[in-house]
Amino acid sequence: MKLGIIGLPQSGKTTLFNALTGRGEQKSTAAHKSNFAVIPIPDERLDFLWEKTGREKNKVPATVTFVDFLAVKESESLALMHEMDGLLFALRAFKILGTDVKIEPLREAAEIEIQLILTDTEIVQKRLKKLEQMLIKPIPDKKEREKEQHALSKVWEVLKCDNPARLAVLTKEEELLVRGFQFLSGKPHLLLLNASEEFAGKSASEICGTESLPDAEMVVICGKLEMEISQLPKSDQEVFLSEYGIKERGSDAVLRQSYKVLDMISFLTIGKDEVRAWSVRRGSSAVEAAGSVHTDMARGFIRAEVVSFDDFKSLGSIKDARAHGKARLEGKDYIVADGDIIEFRFSV
């Protein structure tokens, strides 16, 4: 899972990045590169599985890659942005010293989205123009290109009204035809309210002064404060968070809400040398989940043995789950459920 942090100037993007990744106040040494950090996703189910199946094994959590987009060449920045699974909007909820700029996070969110819409508009217009020129002549894949043109026209009708690409109503076939464009305004997004200490412990509605929020989820995180706390010994971190009324660490809240916004789930595997958590989209089939572990597993998929985490927890082992009829053999079309413990059987 890759999440890109974007925002307007002086929104505190890099401070949020440091707070989320626990890296402290670090700066890139190369102005043309963005900051990257790979962070493990906390999962109590994985911890339990590791304790039960042998602590001598490696415990490998699922991960998320955070990307802080710096001042890079526009083409480089956009190319990397298109690779993200989701976008985190850094919104300012602190006063800029020496200015009288108002705190208006929802206005900033709308401004960021307009920029994404304009980027997508340029892509769609160029492609539609090219398709129009192509379809004048007889070409081998004319029917496919006509379908693509029709799908992109639907996206264009949405974009030209200053609405995001995700609002375009497309069939499954049309979604596949335009998926390669990776529209920025079509990506799932999460609003990060970068708040000053005075707002610590307050809800997004309290800070924004409204009960009506955009369609994306919003997380409040005191970026500067949490960045500083992340540099303290772990034994002191919870004490300081509690003193400021922060019930949940910002990074944990962002990961939890990102899973929700991106519609992700986790499944678990028990290997000879490791127990591991894997992230997949909700609705993924068993063969798709196998492919996320290794392409050979998907290619030679035979079946999957599945035990739910709850059954494993109550019975204590895979062996006991089998004895009580709680281990199921599923085919490639089985839809993986959150918390499934899966052993893939394959032959290549």
| 139-173 per-position pLDDT tens digit | 888 899 999 999 999 999 999 999 999 999 999 99
Return the percentage of the chain with pLDDT > 70, whole number: 91
Q: How far apart are CA 269 and CA 50, in angstroms?
A: 10
- The residue written with tokens 């789930």 in the block is 265
Q: What is the pLDDT of residue 122?
A: 94
| Rounded alpha-carbon distances, angstroms, from residue 203 to 24, 42, 331 | 25, 23, 45
198-211 pLDDT, tens digit each:
888 788 877 877 65
- The residue written with tokens 């190319």 in the block is 79
Q: Which helix (H) or strand (E) holds 346?
A: strand 340-346
Q: What is the pLDDT of residue 297?
A: 94
* Helix residue ranges per DSSP H, 22-163: 44-53, 74-82, 105-136, 142-159
Q: What is the pLDDT of residue 245?
A: 81
- Token duo for residue 28: 């890139």
Q: What is the pLDDT of residue 348?
A: 84
At 167, the amino acid letter reads L
The SS3 assignment for 37 reads strand
Mean pLDDT value across residues 108-124: 94
10 Rama sector, left if φ>0, alpha if ψ -120 to 50, beta otherwise: left
The SS3 assignment for 201 reads coil
Q: How far apart are CA 2 and CA 83, in angstroms?
A: 8
Q: What is the pLDDT of residue 325?
A: 94
33-42, 270-279, 304-313: least confident range: 33-42
Q: How far apart are CA 51 and CA 223, in angstroms?
A: 34
Is residue 74 scored above 60 in pLDDT? no
Q: What is the pLDDT of residue 174?
A: 93
pTM for the model stands at 0.84
Q: What is the pLDDT of residue 69?
A: 83
Domain boundaries, the chain: 2-44+54-102+187-261, 109-186, 283-346
| Rounded alpha-carbon distances, angstroms, from residue 82 to 67, 136, 186, 347, 348 | 12, 30, 10, 35, 34
Confidence at 228, pLDDT banded by 50, 70, 90? confident
Q: What is the pLDDT of residue 211?
A: 55
CA atoms within 13 A on the CB side of 286: 22
Q: How far apart are CA 246 and CA 172, in angstroms?
A: 42
Mean pLDDT value across residues 177-201: 90
Is residue 213 scored above 60 in pLDDT? no
Sign, CA torsion 248/252/257/259: negative
> What are the respective helix, strand and coil percentages of the chain, to the nearest 5?
45, 20, 35
Q: What is the pLDDT of residue 30?
A: 47
Q: What is the pLDDT of residue 314?
A: 95
CATH class, range 109-186: mainly alpha
Q: What is the pLDDT of residue 156?
A: 96
**Domain covering 283-346, topology:** Ubiquitin-like (UB roll) (3.10.20)
Mean pLDDT value across residues 271-284: 93
Mean pLDDT value across residues 56-64: 90
For the chain, give the mean pLDDT. 87
Is residue 42 scored above 80 in pLDDT? yes
Residue by residue, DSSP assigns 257-298 as HHHHHHTEEEEEEE-SSEEEEEEEETT-BHHHHHHHH-HHHH
**CA nearest to 254, candidates 31, 21, 57:** 21
| Rounded alpha-carbon distances, angstroms, from residue 322 to 4, 188, 301, 316, 327 | 42, 39, 21, 11, 5
CATH class, range 2-44+54-102+187-261: alpha beta
